[in-house]
Structure formats: C-alpha cells, structure tokens
Copies of this chain bind each other. A is one copy, B any other.
C-alpha cells in the first residue's frame, strides 16, 4: 500500500492506495485557517498517523508554487507554509521509504492518464477548471515536468492578448483570468446577472471549488449556479458560459498545436457545466485547430471523482517510470 496525501487550502486528505490504483481507505480534515507552520504539520501528522503502518511509499500532491523536486512548498492558499520542507519532513517521518511530491493539478492529470479518461493516450493534457485553471502534460507517454516542475500551466496560456482581464499571476488575458469560476460569476454579475431559480437550486449541492465562498454575495452566486442558469436559458449566463467555453477552446487549440495532443481531459467543478460551456468550447476549438493532426484532438470530462488527487499522488510512486522522472532526465 502507498500512503497518498493531497494538501489543499480547504482540506487535507490522505488515503491508502493499492498497486492497481484503488483507494482502500481515505480520510480528510479541514485545513486550519490562518494556522502557523507547526500547527499545519501537526494537523497533517495526525491525519496520516492511523494510515502509516506498513506503507511502502508516500506520494503527495500539494497546491503550488513549490520548489520541485525538492518539495519545499509555499501553497498560495496556505499562508502558514512558505518554503515549508514538506517532502523532507515526510521523509524523516518515514525513514527509508520513497517520498515524492508534485503539484496537485499535475497529480490530477496523472490520475486521469493512469486510471481515468486518459488511459492509453500517449499525448494528453489533463485540465482542472474550478476556482483556478491548472493542468498537467503527458507527452510521448510520460509526465512532462519542465525545467522547474511547472509544465502544464494551461491556465496562463494567453487567450485575450490585448485588453484581457488582469490575472492573479500578474499578467493579463490568461485563460485562468477569464475562465476560473469566480471570474465568471464576477463577469456575469457585472453584466447584470441576477441568479434565477435554477441557480438557487443548483447551489443546494456542494461547492465548485474550495474558495468559491470568498467570491459569493449570496449562496447562488457560484459558477455552478451560473451554469444552471445558462442551461435554463438566462441570456447573461449563456454569454458568460460562452465566454469561458471559447477561452478554453482557444487555449486547447494552442496547446494542441504546440504539443500535438490527442486528448484533453477536463475536471473540476466547471467540467459539469454541460452544453452551455462545451458547445462554445468545441466551436472555438474547431475554428482554431484546423491542421490535419490537430483535428484529431478529443476533449472529454475527467472520469475520476473526489479521490483523483490521491490516485495521482500514489501514481508518483506506483508508476514512477511514467510519472516521476526528475532524476533520469537531467
């Protein structure tokens, strides 16, 4: 069994994953908000304690940025950890065992490639569209890390080069600045969207992303609510989903040309938005991906659910020949 860990700003999850990718057991705990580094570590340590017996390795997905492959993490949404040596601390905690850590969006892409919608694809981009927009790149059958472990940042491919919205990265016109859930709802509200009955009902379910709450004025103002209103025909909501869909299609066309992809998987809350998002996505993709080789690219929803992060983290150990290549490649 592999101990898999998934560290995010809202929750920390841990699980035991078998060599076939099955999650035998998992547990999760809220990430203590505003906590200092020792408190955060203690929370994680207590979470993994009951799962530690007899494990053969530790795989970790964590929010970025981070120094990779060293695994010193500074997750944007966990201010108490800045340059925290998470990998080293876990290596001390599990002497003699392999401990591998990568970006959480990369773990999701790895999971889809290993056991989800991407099985058998040699060249795929696994995307997450939620509070942020991230991804991981598998080319020629192997995870691509890039020079600093940051390959796959599809969220910062430029889709509105001149005059596009400011992005959290400091740039402007990035896919993430257009298509992240909170940006979408903010744009829709600005255009006069008033959440309708569909949005109110949609929002009874779980949230899209861990941070949606911070952007809501009321409970229905979520990307999920917006998507529901679009499906119900609300014209502003339709335009908002169209705007996000086209931005996704343009970025996917660029990625397909550059990396000769055969598949793009889309996970995260917005991947549930249906036709109002995927129609315009496909339209923009087909407009822009006209070369013979690019036309073959398929866009599919991710198929692994909540536990994908744990599966991908475990794959860093269980399928390291494909997904853990920092040492052999340099």
Contact = CB atoms under 8 A, between A and B. Distances in A.
Contact of A260 (B150, B172, B255, B258): B150
- Chain A interface size band reads 35 or more
A260 B170 contact: no
Contacts of A260: 145-153
B253 A158 contact: yes
Contact of A330 (B122, B145, B152, B288): B122
Interface in A281-330: 284, 287-294, 296, 325, 329-330
A134 to B, nearest CB: 11
Contact of A148 (B142, B287, B293): B293
Contacts of A294: 150, 153, 156
A235 interface: no
A151 B171 contact: no
A259 interface: yes
Contacts of A296: 147-148
Nearest to A157: B254
Contacts of A261: 146-147
Nearest to A173: B288
Interface in A259-280: 259-262
B123 A170 contact: no
A257 interface: yes
Given A141-B329, A160-B161, A161-B160, A258 B255 contact: yes
A325 B329 CA distance: 14
Interface of A: 65, 122-123, 137, 139-142, 144-161, 167, 169-174, 246, 250-251, 253-255, 257-262, 284, 287-294, 296, 325, 329-330
20 contacts: A65-B291, A139-B144, A139-B151, A142-B329, A145-B260, A146-B260, A146-B261, A147-B260, A148-B296, A150-B260, A151-B258, A152-B258, A156-B253, A156-B254, A160-B161, A161-B246, A171-B253, A173-B288, A258-B258, A259-B259
